[in-house]
């Protein structure tokens, strides 16, 4: 759990960034309708959660800044017995005042009037420009006289780039549960089963361990399906002698994990699969070793392209001169995505990759990113040796940048062929 003190410190850091005579609004998430009277599971707005730790919908945080002094007000839904009978208990304003270290707690019923009042002598209003919520429309109605509109999301995203010790602990916890889920999938007898059965096993382990949601829709892709990068139908049979690409990670107290392993259906890699797998694994290990402060993510990506291109050439997947192949980006046909992304409250964490001047932000202590090289060879690609066709491999770990280098937060998840085959024995 993140302490109340840390949430307060985050709000104070944000408050310092706000301009004088301004108001900032951060809304909670909203339920989304699935179909008549039915809603998708609720997911809190990441920026609101980052600043409050509050998990309810229909809530908002207001920052009112005069000169240097800032008042923080949390708005919560008013308690209502009839409503609570249907959708569960609400914290309410009295309890919220005890739980959260904000200056004031009000109910959402007072939001419009308080907002109007606080906007009277202000010249800037911060809110999240990307939100499509109805509440944002109300906001605009009350703030017609405001001189400057500013995007609060940019300030919060910047803060989210560097993770605190408490955040790293939660990410590590999410990864620990994800480890159990992947190991369970490896150990399961897979012959005669379907991809969705493996998915169910993985997500069962998530929930059983207190991670009530996945961090993204799990990918369980057997054989050629692994060559569809965003394969989520997970509805095909598991076929002996094929590899299954499993990209699955849970969310724990709001924090993501994002892990991919490629494992054999019958517990044994074929020799062609071994050749491809070890090539990708070797690249992944080399890229992880490069991680340290001041290295750029684009350097990591460039190196991964070079190493994979060389590997493809060595295995006869590409033919020709290395320099020319690289220049013509021939490897992109088989490695079309990036080396990785920031990870935190969102699996693709909404933190910036460039600074205000458009310059790439180099790695710094406390950042968390994924490293996920892959190779994808379609079953019908006649230009590639037959033994490699229909194989898709990705190996993905979650890495923390430290003061001197890195810590692989997912290093306990079986990754070498030896480790995977050992666990897979049934």
The set of catalytic residues is 37, 230, 247, 258, 337, 341, 348, 372, 376, 394, 396
Contact between 258 and ligand GLY by CB under 6 A: the answer reads yes
Q: Which residues of 343-354 are buried (b: 16+ CB within 10 A; e: fewer)?
A: bbbbbebbbeee
Contact between 304 and Mn ion by CB under 5 A: the answer reads no
- The stretches of 315-413 forming alpha helices (DSSP H) are 322-327
C-alpha distance across the termini of the chain, in Å? 37
Contact between 231 and ligand GLY by CB under 6 A: the answer reads no
Binder of residue 397, out of Mn ion, ligand GLY, none (CB less than 5 to 8 A by kind) = none
Q: Which of residues 297-356 bind ligand GLY (CB under 6 A)?
A: 341, 347
Q: Which residues of 256-291 are buried (b: 16+ CB within 10 A; e: fewer)?
A: bbbbbbbbbbbbebbeebebbbebbbebbbebbeeb
- From the CB of 395, what's the least distance to ligand GLY, in Å? 11
DSSP assignment, residue 137?
A: H
Contact track, ligand GLY, 389-418, x by CB under 6 A:
-------x----------------------
Closest CA to 130 of 151, 148, 159: 151
Distance CA 96, CA 101 (A): 9
- From the CB of 342, what's the least distance to ligand GLY, in Å? 11
Binder of residue 216, out of ligand GLY, Mn ion, none (CB less than 5 to 8 A by kind) = ligand GLY
Query: Which residue number, 22 or 370, has a Cβ lying nearer to Mn ion?
Result: 370
Q: How far, CA to CA in Å, does 237 sit from each of 8, 191, 228?
A: 50, 9, 16
Query: Which residue number, 195 or 396, has a Cβ lying nearer to ligand GLY?
Result: 396
Options 57, 167, 258, 398; binder of Mn ion; rule CB under 5 A: 258
How big, in percent rounded to 5, are the helix, strand and coil portions of the chain? 40, 20, 40
- From the CB of 248, what's the least distance to ligand GLY, in Å? 8
Distance CA 4, CA 135 (A): 26
Contact between 370 and Mn ion by CB under 5 A: the answer reads yes
Contact between 251 and Mn ion by CB under 5 A: the answer reads no
Binding site for Mn ion (CB under 5 A): 247, 258, 260, 370, 396
């Amino acid at each position: 759990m993140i302490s109340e003190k840390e949430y307060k410190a985050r709000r104070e850091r944000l408050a310092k960034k706000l301009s004088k005579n301004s108001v900032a609004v951060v809304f909670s998430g909203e339920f989304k309708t699935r179909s008549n009277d039915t809603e998708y599971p609720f997911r809190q707005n990441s920026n609101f959660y980052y600043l409050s730790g509050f998990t309810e919908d229909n809530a908002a945080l207001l920052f009112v800044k005069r000169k240097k002094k800032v008042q923080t007000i949390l708005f919560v839904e008013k308690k209502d017995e009839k409503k609570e009978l249907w959708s569960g208990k609400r914290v309410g304003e009295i309890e919220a005042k005890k739980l959260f270290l904000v200056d004031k707690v009000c109910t959402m019923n007072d939001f419009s009037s308080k907002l109007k009042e606080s906007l009277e002598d202000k010249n800037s209003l911060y809110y999240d420009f990307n939100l499509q919520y109805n509440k944002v429309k109300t906001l605009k109605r009350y703030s017609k006289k405001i001189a400057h509109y500013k995007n609060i999301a940019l300030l919060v995203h910047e803060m989210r780039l560097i993770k605190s010790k408490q955040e790293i602990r939660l990410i590590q916890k999410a990864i620990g549960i994800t480890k159990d889920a992947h190991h369970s999938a490896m150990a399961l007898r897979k012959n005669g089963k379907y991809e969705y059965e493996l998915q169910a096993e993985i997500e069962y382990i998530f929930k059983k361990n207190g991670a009530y949601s996945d961090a993204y829709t799990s990918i369980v892709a057997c054989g050629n399906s692994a060559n569809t990068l965003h394969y989520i139908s997970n509805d095909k049979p598991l076929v002996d002698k094929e590899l299954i690409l499993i990209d699955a990670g849970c969310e724990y107290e709001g924090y993501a994990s994002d892990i991919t392993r490629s494992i054999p259906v019958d517990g044994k890699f074929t020799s062609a699969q071994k050749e491809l797998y070890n090539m990708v694994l070797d690249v992944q290990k080399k890229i992880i070793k490069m991680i340290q402060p001041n290295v750029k993510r684009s350097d990591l990506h460039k190196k991964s392209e070079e190493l994979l291109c060389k590997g493809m050439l060595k295995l006869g997947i590409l033919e020709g001169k290395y320099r020319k192949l690289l220049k013509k980006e021939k490897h992109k046909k088989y490695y079309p995505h990036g080396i990785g992304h920031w990870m935190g409250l969102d699996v693709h964490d909404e933190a910036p990759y460039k600074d205000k001047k458009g310059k790439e932000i180099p790695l710094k202590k406390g950042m968390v990113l994924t490293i996920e090289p892959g190779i994808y060879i379609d079953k019908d690609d006649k230009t590639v040796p037959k033994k490699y066709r229909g194989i898709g491999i990705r190996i993905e770990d979650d890495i923390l940048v430290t003061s001197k280098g890195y810590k692989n937060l997912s290093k306990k998840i079986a990754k070498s062929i030896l480790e995977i085959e050992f666990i897979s024995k049934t």
